[in-house]
Amino acid sequence: MKVSVIGIGGVGYAMTNILAAAGFNAIGVDINPKALESPSADASVIRFIKRYKSKITENLILTTDYSQITGSEFVIVVVNTDFDEKQQQLTTHILEKALKMLGEHGQTTVIVMSTLPYGASSRLKAICDASGLDYCYSPIMVNQGNYVDSFFKAPFLILGANDEVGQKVMMFYAQLFQIFRETFPPTYIVSALTAELTKLIANAFLSTKLSYANYVGGLCEKVNQIEGQPVDANLILHIIGNDPRIGSRFLKAGFAFGGGCLPRDLKSLITSCQQIGSHPELLSAVDHVNAERTRVPIKVLEKYLDQPRAITVLGTAYKAGIDDERGSKSVELIEFLKELGHSVSSYDPNVPRTKSLPDILKSAELVIVTTDEQEFTEIGKMLGKKCQVVCDFTITPIVDSNLIPSHVNLFTAGVGWQRPEK
């Protein structure tokens, strides 16, 4: 069976490799030749390619030529979804263009995996109808850094399509899961509108959990400041996470959440709620807490920022273990600090840099750690004499406090100042 994928970004490349390894004739199409020359592969994709190398070599074609999709039984569309800052809404013009292009190459069933804003499917289905394409919106729920495993361990699949198309797509997914002997998750054939809302509501819930944990973090940091005795937000969150109604995942206090999905999907749902007259207050509060949390290091360091400082931010990707800085809140923080007149250097082990970690820390006066990279555990050994503060905003926390020299103050997310401040 021939199956094509349109859009060879992180998700599309993972999907194309999975299809090829499954033994399908897999065609990956991208309009950007660079995306095909050096495709973006996370650690799980690299492992997967190694494991299924011969099958993938045999079955995978990556091309800029749309005509190669002719004869595909299914075409997965997973191009990027843009975000219109002015309208505060996800846009679908990239997707619409892709659907029009693929409509010129024969009839097929289109599975749209790209994230859509509320109400977009009616427009997209009309484009497909005009070219005789069957339409299914099946938003993908994967985690960057772990695309392959999170695809196969998806808690559910949603197929937004009419019953006939939905059944066809379900059989295809079931076949794919069976080939890899993976358990087929609960699968729901629903209207495309229900699928749109399901994806946005699921992501908004995860954002709510993250902001709640960060809010608790801020509360405990304040309690520590007032009471002078540490209360640890992450201990409290760990305890309450034992309650299955609450659950422990995504419930740790740290830095603001970022990335290409959660913050934008949340804003998109807020805008749609406003447009249809449904009150978005709860979601707006989640967004507000996240914006505030981005600036918390500046508030914590307030008294040190009265003069230009040499600040080092550790972790520039939006989470540990990946090189993607899109929507990264630490990048936003760096910009704020620069606007305030400070000299800011940064380091992330996954992002190419010219200086090593010890080199970059040597001259730092203030250090802010935002991602849980193992390499940051021992930074205490690398700090110079000029260093005054380390702020550990990671959820672990990752910095080994025993290695922090006595002249350096340490602030930990969810706790506050670790020693009486000097």
Ligand X SMILES: NC(=O)c1ccc[n+]([C@@H]2O[C@H](COP(=O)([O-])OP(=O)(O)OC[C@H]3O[C@@H](n4cnc5c(N)ncnc54)[C@H](O)[C@@H]3O)[C@@H](O)[C@H]2O)c1
Interacting residues toward ligand X by CB under 6 A: 6-12, 29-32, 35, 40, 78-81, 94, 97-98, 101, 113-115, 140, 142, 144, 260-261
Nearer to ligand X by C-beta: 18 or 78? 78
- Closest distance of CB 265 from ligand X, Å: 8
Min CB(320)–ligand X separation in Å:
15
Residue closer to ligand X, measured from CB, 80 or 345: 80
Q: Among residues 30 and 196, whose Cβ is nearest to ligand X? A: 30
Strand-strand pairing, 109-112 and 134-137? parallel
**Residue with smaller CB distance to ligand X, 69 or 383:** 69
| Residue 187: strand, helix, or coil | strand
Q: How far is the CB of 400 from ligand X (least distance, A)?
A: 31
Indicate the residue whose CB is closest to ligand X: 9
Contact 198, 139 (CB under 8 A): yes
Dist CA 410 CA 391 (whole Å): 6
| Contact in structure between 139 and 124 (CB atoms under 8 Å) | no
Between 3 and 415, name the residue whose CB sits nearer to ligand X: 3
- Any idea of the CA torsion for 29, 32, 37, 38, to the nearest 10 degrees? -100
Q: How far is the CB of 59 from ligand X (least distance, A)?
A: 20
Asked whether the beta carbons of 140 and 160 are under 8 A apart, the reply is no
Q: CB of residue 73 vs ligand X: minimum separation in angstroms?
A: 19
d(CA 19, CA 271): 36
* Exposure string for 32-66, b = 16+ CB within 10 A, e = fewer: eeebbeebbbbebbeebbeebeebbeebbebbeeb
Q: How far is the CB of 171 from ligand X (least distance, A)?
A: 23
**3-state class (DSSP) for residue 120:** helix
Dihedral over alpha carbons 160, 162, 168, 173 (to 10 degrees): 10
The smaller minimum CB distance to ligand X, of residues 140 and 368, is found at 140
